[in-house]
């Protein structure tokens, strides 16, 4: 078999980082915690060194706490998808290939200096030359500032080529008996699907419009309006948003931004996404969320979005109710309906450990710590060999992230208090459904008969 130069380079990088992990963990003698932290850090450094495809893969790992050790998830969460920008002439050529016109013919002005440059796309600023009527929202008049997100030429080939190399290396590692505890093939499949979606910018545009529809009457939530006449598979034109990232909130406060109110509102908006709309932004971090000068919250970058059916939302409401009332049995029972299948012989021990975890979250003074509970629950399930559906783990991670974002603005926020009205509404609606009401009446009747004849 011919081994490519890229494959040799990837192998060399991982070998170097593995040796560094051995050294920093004192050859495994520094204890389990030190060893896990050392190797997680070296994995992150290896992914960063290997470039765009591995950086994006690391970011995907960062939203999969149900599959990977928490140390690795935490390390990968700090990686930023940033690469050296391409010359403006290359971006201009893509625009011309898509529309048959130069940027100056399409817009009143176009900025050659990129706003951002990532592995898949590069972003430039522009100004509308004509009025635009978006799918949702008010008309965007001529002179409105927009951004062009342009897929980098060769991005697909580079990322998918590295993906193929990663698969070959993974197969080799499997044959050597390594990485037995990680389902990396499933992760690579998910990664490939994600990249394919990201390479078609119309997908992100449609999702942005759906979010704009969901929050069309909300004065506190903003979603960039899409300019469809200059949007294609390789070019996405959207309204430009200005504001402060969550890491710059001190500057926002100086301008009179009410961080406490926005923290509560942002958490509430997320619960609306999950419990009412069944669509939620699953990649909330400082780069994808702005606090604007208008005292609003602006969502950006809809690359990772979760979807839930009405039944799934009702089951999630029951899981959250189980958390609020320290009812481990209920939380586990409805998690089962969401695909978390605990073997019968392990139900008792998992229920007991889940109850202890609930007590640790709810028993202390101050706001309840959902992140501690949520990630602890995923860790508990992994420890007992329970397979966790991708969507379930993604939602738990998203809830934990929202809590973290909210607490960066308002440390005393209690995400469970925010969730309570939505949980109550969904459970109330489900109780009124005829088929469920009949099922409950039949169960109650059988229970009563057992008591009578006992």
Nearest Cα to Cα of residue 282 among 307, 313, 249: 307
Q: Is 283 a catalytic residue?
A: yes
Segment holding 299, helix H or strand E? strand 297-299
Catalytic: which of 283, 301, 315, 369?
A: 283
Distances from the Cα of 241 to the Cαs of 183, 223, 356, in angstroms?
Answer: 38, 9, 44
Spatial CB neighbours of 23, under 8 Å, sequence gap ≥ 6? none
**C-alpha span between 415 and 371 (Å, rounded):** 10
Cβ count near 251 (within 10 Å): 12
Please report where in the chains the tokens 């009412």 appear, as a residue.
276
Looking at the chain, the number of H-run helices and the number of E-run strands are: 18, 10
**C-alpha span between 337 and 315 (Å, rounded):** 7
**C-alpha span between 288 and 283 (Å, rounded):** 7
| DSSP line for 58-78 | HHHHHT-TTTS-HHHHHHHHT
Catalytic residue numbers, as ranges: 283
């Amino acid at each position: 078999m011919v081994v490519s130069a890229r494959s040799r380079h990837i192998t060399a990088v991982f070998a170097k980082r593995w040796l560094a992990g051995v050294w920093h963990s004192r050859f495994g003698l520094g204890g389990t915690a030190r060893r896990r932290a050392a190797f997680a850090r070296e994995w992150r450094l290896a992914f960063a060194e290997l470039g765009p495809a591995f950086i994006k893969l690391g970011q995907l790992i960062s939203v999969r706490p149900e599959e990977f050790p928490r140390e690795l998830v935490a390390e990968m969460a700090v990686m930023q998808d940033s690469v050296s920008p391409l010359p403006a002439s290359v971006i201009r050529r893509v625009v011309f290939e898509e529309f048959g016109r130069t940027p100056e013919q399409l817009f009143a002005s176009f900025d050659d200096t990129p706003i951002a440059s990532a592995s898949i796309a590069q972003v430039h600023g522009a100004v509308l030359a004509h009025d635009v009527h978006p799918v949702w929202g008010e008309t965007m008049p001529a002179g409105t500032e927009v951004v062009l997100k342009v897929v980098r030429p060769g991005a697909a080939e580079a990322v998918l080529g590295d993906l193929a190399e990663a698969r070959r290396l993974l197969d080799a590692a499997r044959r050597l008996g390594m990485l037995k505890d990680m389902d990396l093939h499933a992760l690579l499949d998910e990664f490939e699907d994600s990249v394919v979606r990201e390479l078609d910018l119309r997908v992100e545009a449609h999702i942005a419009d759906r979010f704009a529809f969901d929050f069309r009457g909300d004065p506190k939530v903003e979603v960039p309006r899409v300019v469809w006449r200059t949007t294609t598979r390789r070019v996405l034109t959207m309204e430009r948003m200005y504001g402060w990232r969550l890491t710059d909130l001190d500057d926002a406060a100086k301008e009179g931004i009410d961080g406490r109110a926005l923290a509560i509102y942002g958490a509430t908006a997320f619960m609306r996404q999950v419990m009412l709309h069944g669509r939620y932004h699953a990649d909330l971090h400082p780069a994808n969320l702005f606090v604007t000068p208008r005292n609003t919250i602006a969502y950006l970058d809809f690359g990772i979005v979760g979807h839930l059916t009405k039944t799934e939302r009702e089951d999630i409401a029951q899981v959250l109710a189980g958390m609020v009332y320290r009812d481990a049995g209920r939380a586990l029972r409805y998690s089962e309906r969401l695909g978390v299948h605990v073997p019968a012989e392990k139900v008792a021990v998992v229920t007991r450990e889940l109850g202890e975890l609930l007590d640790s979250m709810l028993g202390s003074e101050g706001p309840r710590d959902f992140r501690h509970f949520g990630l602890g629950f995923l860790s508990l399930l992994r420890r007992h060999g329970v397979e966790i559906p991708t969507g379930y783990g993604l939602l738990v991670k998203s809830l934990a992230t929202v809590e973290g974002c909210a607490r960066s603005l308002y440390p005393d926020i209690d995400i469970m208090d925010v969730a309570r009205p939505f949980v109550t509404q969904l459970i109330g609606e489900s109780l009124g459904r005829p088929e469920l009401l009949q099922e409950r009446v039949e169960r109650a009747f059988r229970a009563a008969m057992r008591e009578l004849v006992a």
